[in-house]
Amino acid sequence: MRTKCQHCNTTLQFDERKYIRNNWVEYTCPVCGNQVRFQYGVADQHISVTSQDSPVLQPVKSNFQSQPTPVSHQNIVPPVYEEEQQRRSPLIWLVPVLVLLFCAVIGGYFYYNKVYLPAKIDREAPRYYTISNMTNLRSSKSAGAEYNKIGSIPFGSELITYSHEADWSEVKDATGKRGFIASNYIVEKSDFYRLNSIFGDASSREIIQTVKCRRALLNYFKEHNYIGSISQSELGSVTPQVVPNSDNQWQVFTRSKGVTPNSVWFGRAINSDSKFTDFAVIITNIKTGAHRFLLFCFDETEKPTLVYEENTSAKYIENVYCYDGSDVEVDYYYAR
């Protein structure tokens, strides 16, 4: 309710129900300390004011019925109670803070797991490179089928590698496709640069196209710390470190594919019942022009083994023979 203090004329606004005592409302003016007292629920209110400086006014019954004073709706002030204000105050700022905190936690969680963490994993993951002319990317660790093939990756493609196991590696290519690739078809950067330096022309890479033959050459060059033709920027990534000179720079040069005789040869000289053909190749020293013949065979897992090598002045191979499993004879073609 609203009323006025009879002593200081201060407008008082309070909930009379909170100050009822024996059916009388007693309220103390917060300005002058005088007491406002009237009977609860009676239309003709009896108000008494008590103070130290003024006499006590006894309840006086009015001889007329008070008329309601017209009040403009614009001047009506809704009652605001001190107790309710104190209870509501914390909620005014607490609820928005909790909402903002919740949104920040959820947003941070999704940012960390969907943006920051994947980018961090990609940055720190090792890089491998394909050594096959075209390598299949699959959605599962299963080869020899078309249903799980999701893409083909060309020679020399850089792959973000999440896991590298004996048979399969989980990778992501430059287009963002993620899947599985045969581990035998990828190598580290150092090995890729060394392997790529071995091919002296486009036809040599086209003819020596199987991964097992490329790995045979790569292993031989790594064992002897040979290198082919390579730029200085790539040479710095090759390990162990190689200082190119007239003794360690070798490459393979071939005629076009299908032309015979050639500087590569495929056949079964060591074991006629072998699952895989043998691989013979002539490598050339790019500083001195010297030639060297190499012969590899492969076991059931395609692991290469160097079975014979010799120096030669020939550039091309006619045929290769093996007697008693160890005595190797080579027919060379000496081109002018």
- List of domains in the chain: 2-40 (no CATH), 127-189 (2.30.30.40), 199-333 (no CATH)
> Greater confidence, 276 or 96?
276
Residue 90, both tokens: 């914390």
The Cα–Cα gap between 155 and 212 comes to 15
> Greater confidence, 53 or 112?
112
pLDDT at 159 over 90: yes
Residue 108, both tokens: 């941070």
**pLDDT, mean of residues 317-332:** 92
pLDDT of residue 290: 98
Distances (CA, A) of 318 to 278, 290, 321: 14, 19, 10
Q: Which residues of 313-336 are buried (b: 16+ CB within 10 A; e: fewer)?
A: ebbbbeebebeeeeebebebeeee
pLDDT of residue 310: 97
The Cα–Cα gap between 324 and 318 comes to 21
The candidate with the shortest Cα–Cα distance to 126, out of 189, 79, 178, is 189
> Greater confidence, 321 or 113?
321
- Tens of pLDDT along 113-149? 888 888 899 899 999 999 999 999 999 999 988 999 9
**Which of 41-45, 88-92, 298-302 is most confident?**
298-302
Torsions phi, psi for 6 (to 5 deg): -70, -15
pLDDT at 153 over 70: yes
pLDDT at 70 over 60: no
Region of residue 20 (left: phi > 0; alpha: psi -120 to 50; beta: else):
beta
Q: Mean of the per-residue pLDDT values for the chain?
A: 84
pLDDT at 5 over 80: no
pLDDT at 334 over 80: yes
pLDDT at 169 over 90: yes
pLDDT of residue 16: 67
pLDDT at 272 over 80: yes
pLDDT of residue 152: 95
pLDDT of residue 245: 96
Lowest mean pLDDT among 14-28, 45-59, 157-171, 222-236: 45-59
Q: Which residues of 247-268 are buried (b: 16+ CB within 10 A; e: fewer)?
A: ebbbbbbbbeeeeebbbbbbee
pLDDT of residue 75: 45
pLDDT at 175 over 60: yes
